[in-house]
Amino acid sequence: MTALPDLGPAARQLASLLENIPDEQLTAPTPCAEYTLGDLIDHVGGLTLAFADAARKDLGGITSQGPSGDAARLPDDWRTRIPQQLAALAEAWQQPAAWEGMTRVGGIDLPGEIAGKVAMNELVVHGWDVAKASGQPFRCDPETVAANLEFVSRSAAEGGLFGPPVEVPADAPALDRTIGLTGRNPDWQAA
């Protein structure tokens, strides 16, 4: 059996970024044109719960809902709550059974292996989004970036889960190629 991706490093990086965002940045733009930073943080909070339940095969409720994204729904304790949820998500995907059989997330039934890779992608790409929007550095371990690049490359070749890819040089760093394949410009800056 191949080694399963470890979502821990990406989850910890995203948690660290969230802990350092002041309230005044919640209205900042993000690389996700439809989301402010606060909206994106709410989205991250919702996906942490949905993907943790998907890993545990606890289907229904939150795994049957589409993605959230509304800063008005952020609880007062989001800086501590969402990092705890990120840790729980990473822990849930440490279990080999999470990667087996079928599960559901966002109302879509899919193989556990694919759901785990989508969760990894959400952590990496939205971690990058949060870092860019909040002016923080983004660090992602090379193993996670390589696994995520492989996943988004296959997805893009099969019609994609994301918007139209942004052209990125073939010799660009793996993270930049990943970001480009998810429809984002690796050089994005808040205006």
pLDDT score at 74: 95
Residue 191 lies in a domain: no
pLDDT digits (tens, 9 = 90+) for 18-63: 999 999 999 999 999 889 999 999 999 999 999 999 999 999 888 8
Q: How many domains does the chain have?
A: 1
Instruction: Find out whether 28 and 71 touch, Cβ atoms under 8 Å.
Output: no
Measure the CA–CA gap between 188 and 151, rounded to whole angstroms: 22
Residue 189 lies in a domain: no
Measure the CA–CA gap between 119 and 47, rounded to whole angstroms: 8
DSSP per position, the chain: -PPPP--HHHHHHHHHHHHT--GGGTT-B-SSTT-BHHHHHHHHHHHHHHHHHHHHT--SGGGGSPP---GGG--TTHHHHHHHHHHHHHHHTTSGGGGSSEEEETTEEEEHHHHHHHHHHHHHHHHHHHHHHHT------HHHHHHHHHHHHHHHHTT-SSSSPPP--TTS-HHHHHHHHTT--TT----
Residue 190 lies in a domain: no
Lowest-pLDDT range, 9-13, 25-29, 155-159, 171-175? 155-159
Residue 155 lies in a domain: yes
Kindly state the average pLDDT of the residues 152-179: 85
pLDDT score at 1: 44
Name the band, by pLDDT with cuts 50, 70 and 90, for residue 157: low
Residue 186 lies in a domain: no
- Domain extent for 90: 8-181
Percent of the chain with pLDDT over 90: 82
Kindly state the average pLDDT of the residues 84-105: 97
| Average pLDDT score, the chain | 93
Q: What is the pTM of this model?
A: 0.94
Residue 2 lies in a domain: no
Kindly state the average pLDDT of the residues 116-145: 96
pLDDT score at 146: 94
Domain at 144, CATH number: 1.20.120.450
Residue 57 lies in a domain: yes
Name the band, by pLDDT with cuts 50, 70 and 90, for residue 160: low
pLDDT score at 68: 83
Residue 133 lies in a domain: yes
Name the band, by pLDDT with cuts 50, 70 and 90, for residue 154: confident
